[in-house]
Structure 1
Amino acid sequence: MLIADILEAKGHQVHTALPWTTVAQAAARLDDAGVGALLVCETNGRIRGIVSERDIVRGVVRHGRALLDMPVSEIMTRNVSTCAPDDTVPSAMARMTRGRYRHLPVVSGGELVGLVSIGDLVKHRVREMELETGVLRDTFIAHH
């Protein structure tokens, strides 16, 4: 299965924030959208970083209440790894595991086309395994 297959099922919407968005605004946007991370992009769409719930929690520990008025650029993860639509789910999962991150922007031809989470990948991998199990079970029953 490819990353493109996951995007077909879940959609291509990516929730973003500008670098000067305050952490309070970003937290509200995360809550409203029901997502765990916002991609931080320039006005031209260039990826600058990613801010996740984890980044906000760490920021609270380091900065206390002052964090809420700080721009997300102060706490975002800057080195954002990406994948392509034609990458396989196992390769994307391996990259996320090695890098210890939970979200992976999907880029094609220099353009942002989606975002996948580790939850998206696990969900589709489990579905794939369930289908394989069903086929094996049906084949076994048919031959015995």
Structure 2
Amino acid sequence: MQVREAMSNEVLVVGPEHTLRQAARMMSARRVGSAVVIDPDSEGVGIMTERDVLNAIGAGLDPDVERTGSHLTWDVVYAGPDWTVEEAAAAMARGGFRHLVVLDGREVAGVISVRDLMRVWAGRQAATTTV
């Protein structure tokens, strides 16, 4: 199975000037563990995860003051939509992270998460046990 078949197509996008609280509220409302951060003044795509929010709050920072642009990962490993889910899982395991931004060319096509991989795995397991 390819990443394009398993990824979430609806991506939460926030800007670098959103506060951590705003990002956390949007992530909570959408029931997602990450948000893609696109900075119109830079060339890249970053990702903000629930872990980034936890680390900032755990360090005593004010979520109403801190901006997402200061607490995200710009050094992102991107997946391609034609990767296999096994390649995506291996990249996550190597990097120690739970989300991959999926780029189709230079455009964000989606995000694949450990949750997506578990859904695929569970579906495969169910299919093999009912045969």
- The TM-score normalised by the length of structure 2 is 0.89
State the shift of 1:44 in Å. 8.0
Q: What does residue 100 of structure 2 align with?
A: 104
Please give the residue correspondences for 1:52-63 in structure 2 after superposition, counting only pairs within 5 Å. Answer: 52-62=49-59
Q: Which secondary structure does the structure 2 equivalent of 1:101 belong to?
A: coil
Greater RCO (CA < 8 Å, at least 6 residues apart): 2
Q: Is the 8 A contact 2:44 2:74 kept in 1?
A: no
Q: Stretches of 4+ moved more than 6 A in 1?
A: none
Q: Which residue of 1 aligns with 2:113?
A: 117
Deviation at 1:33, TM superposition (A): 1.1
Matched residue, 1:41: 38
Write the mapping of 1:128-143 to structure 2, written as runs, cut at 5 A. 128-135=124-131
2:19 pairs, out of 12, 19, 22, with 22
In the TM superposition, what whole-angstrom CA distance separates every residue of 1:108-132 from its partner, at most 9, and x where no partner exists?
1221111111110111122113213
Q: 1:31 aligns with which of 16, 23, 28?
A: 28
- Please say if residues 39 and 47 of structure 1, whose CA atoms lie closer than 8 Å, have aligned partners that are also in contact: no
The alignment-based identity, stated in percent, is 30
Higher Cα Rg, which structure: 1
Length-normalised TM-score, structure 1: 0.82
Query: Secondary structure at the residue paired with 2:32?
Result: coil
Contiguous gaps of at least 5 residues in structure 1: 136-144
Change beyond 3 A, Cα 1:46–1:38: farther
Alignment partners' CA distance in 1, 2:117 and 2:43: 24
Taking the aligned partners of 2:106 and 2:41, their CA distance within structure 1 comes to: 12
Structure richer in helix, relative to its length? 1
Supply the AA of the counterpart residue of 2:98. Answer: R
Q: 1:45 to 1:115 in 2, by over 3 A?
A: farther
Is this contact kept in 2: 1:23–1:56, CA < 8 A? yes
Give the length in aligned residue pairs.
Answer: 131
RMSD, matched Cα? 1.9
**Aligned to 1:66, what secondary structure does the other structure show?**
coil
Deviation at 1:3, TM superposition (A): 0.8
